[in-house]
Chains A and B, each alone.
Chain A
């Protein structure tokens, strides 16, 4: 099974029953697979007139009670930005699968890139926090899609899965667990008396309770700054109340969200921080230089945002050099550079996609860092 199919399977396994989309390379296969399979499970899919409306429809479906997602690639993701903001403000659970492609604008539609890392965090206007996951193999396309749905239901937030062409078309064995083995998070539903429902009343986890449209709660929600009732209130206090919570419902729980994989870090002197499809080359490179006796290790990000600040700092104190290979001109690198707080030297390695497969640059960078010492 390839990554795209695994992703579609993952979404169905997680209970996704609505897909709104607009066709774009290179992720169209996910839609096809979803369309093929959704008939069996009574799902709905609709091709909207553009990506703007695709995400808007997904938000609508989510309020109607369905688990919903959209699938897109760079340019489409840029068009969705306004509604990422709306999703955050209405606190609507939904999942955006983004298959990154190369370059700004149209770029190179059929080639992989990872230039949308920062966009997924900062792309919409105003202040918000978001969760972004980065799979590196078809199995993870499945697992992380399921996790994305769980996280989005738990934190009532749009969650982005940043895949790319390489992971999407990669064919590998994917183990799909039995339905009863999958742990699915349920939406935090309100079931109290009808008159008392407040759409934005929250408790300790900072997440409000949600209801479906059409259950008789007669609620109102708005993209304007709102109070507990969901009514617009235009003052600084209310704005503070909103933004503070929207930010902190992720920041305070980032330890629960953050997920990463480490290898050979116990004694590492050179650390490679990587994610997505580059990580495959990076891990291989680390294994290779280990054979040469270089004490290298790798740190693979599964969640890009929130960023594992603490762990990077700990590792920076331990190692001498941190190498960040990316298929862009420095995005996650900036965060690594920041979090290392000058404790270790940070080196950025640009990866052209033809070179991704070989990992030569990474190996060279590790060797160079080793020699310097």
Chain B
């Protein structure tokens, strides 16, 4: 986890974006020191509601830069994920895929890499291909790295942060003893068709930058449509 925050820190530096305007919205608790280290405002919301919370923030103050860290993949918040991508809400989403919830003992998440360790209670379900879901719903930037691809991750973050629209970076970060295994079992394939990057047993994990494109963001579309219809009577949303 620390590695991701570090990469985020360096990514912000490299992208040259203003930390004071940056808000980090999460759905799991981070150590309070993260706030001091990053110099951002941190909002820890309910499980799964981080993206919706960030949507409200963005629409109320379009100057804010919103970084959403979702910890438990797209289980509870899958719907908000899909619809924020569809609307192309200007959010930078980091999905930390640790193949299980950090805080509760052993259990499945949609991204579970099945049968790494067999217990009477391990994954029986097929994992969700999050990059594909993001792309097909309209995300403008989709990448995946493991936490050990440190430089790549920083570059990806620096690249994605200034872009307008819904950006997703999936970071694979299971418990430390497994991280090495994943790192070694990954291959970089930039621009790979997201339909083929599903995480499956006995296959290498595909990492890299899969999607980079431009689409009108929600706020732009909103402004444009209302200008068109209302002309000068329309008042744009601004920060108070």
Judged by CB atoms under 8 Å, the answer to whether A and B touch is yes
A residues near B (Cβ < 8 Å) are 22-25, 28-29, 32, 35-36, 39, 47, 49-50, 75, 105-106, 109
Q: A47-B107, A49-B75, A49-B76 are contacts. A35–B101 as well, Cβ < 8 Å?
A: no
CA–CA, A28 and B47, complex, Å = 16
A75 pairs with B76, CB closer than 8 A: no
B residues near A (Cβ < 8 Å) are 29, 44, 46-48, 75-76, 78, 101, 103-108, 110, 120-121, 125
Q: Taking chain B's interface residues, is the majority helix, strand, or loop, or is none over half, making it mixed?
A: loop
B104 pairs with A75, CB closer than 8 A: no
7 intermolecular pairs with C-beta atoms under 8 Å apart: A23-B107, A25-B104, A28-B105, A28-B107, A32-B121, A49-B75, A106-B29
A residues less than 8 Å from B29 (CB atoms): 106
Which single member of A24, A29, A39 contacts B120 (CB below 8 Å)? A39
A47 pairs with B105, CB closer than 8 A: no
Report the minimum CB–CB distance from B188 to chain A (whole Å): 31
A23 pairs with B120, CB closer than 8 A: no
B residues less than 8 Å from A105 (CB atoms): 46
CA–CA, A28 and B121, complex, Å = 12
B105 pairs with A75, CB closer than 8 A: no
Q: Taking chain A's interface residues, is the majority helix, strand, or loop, or is none over half, making it mixed?
A: loop
Nearest-CB residue, chain A, relative to B78: A49
B residues less than 8 Å from A35 (CB atoms): 120-121
CA–CA, A277 and B78, complex, Å = 37
CA–CA, A47 and B100, complex, Å = 12
Count of A-B contacts with CB under 8 A?
37
A50 pairs with B107, CB closer than 8 A: no
Taking A23-B104, A36-B121, A105-B46 as known contacts, 4 extra A-B pairs with beta carbons closer than 8 A to each other, sorted by chain A number, are A23-B101, A25-B103, A49-B75, A49-B76
Which single member of A28, A36, A39 contacts B104 (CB below 8 Å)? A28
Report the minimum CB–CB distance from A34 to chain B (whole Å): 10
A47 pairs with B76, CB closer than 8 A: no
A50 pairs with B76, CB closer than 8 A: yes
B residues less than 8 Å from A32 (CB atoms): 105-106, 121
CA–CA, A32 and B47, complex, Å = 21
Report the minimum CB–CB distance from A10 to chain B (whole Å): 20
CA–CA, A29 and B107, complex, Å = 11
Which single member of A50, A75, A109 contacts B75 (CB below 8 Å)? A50
CA–CA, A39 and B75, complex, Å = 25
A residues less than 8 Å from B108 (CB atoms): 47
Report the minimum CB–CB distance from B112 to chain A (whole Å): 10
Interface centre among A22, A25, A47 (most CB of B within 10 A): A47
Interface centre among A23, A28, A50, A106 (most CB of B within 10 A): A23
CA–CA, A25 and B120, complex, Å = 20
A residues less than 8 Å from B105 (CB atoms): 28-29, 32
CA–CA, A47 and B46, complex, Å = 19
B residues less than 8 Å from A23 (CB atoms): 101, 104, 107
Nearest-CB residue, chain B, relative to A76: B47
A24 pairs with B46, CB closer than 8 A: no
Interface centre among B46, B48, B108, B121 (most CB of A within 10 A): B121
Q: Which 3 A-B pairs have the closest CB atoms?
A: A50-B76, A23-B104, A23-B107
CA–CA, A39 and B120, complex, Å = 9
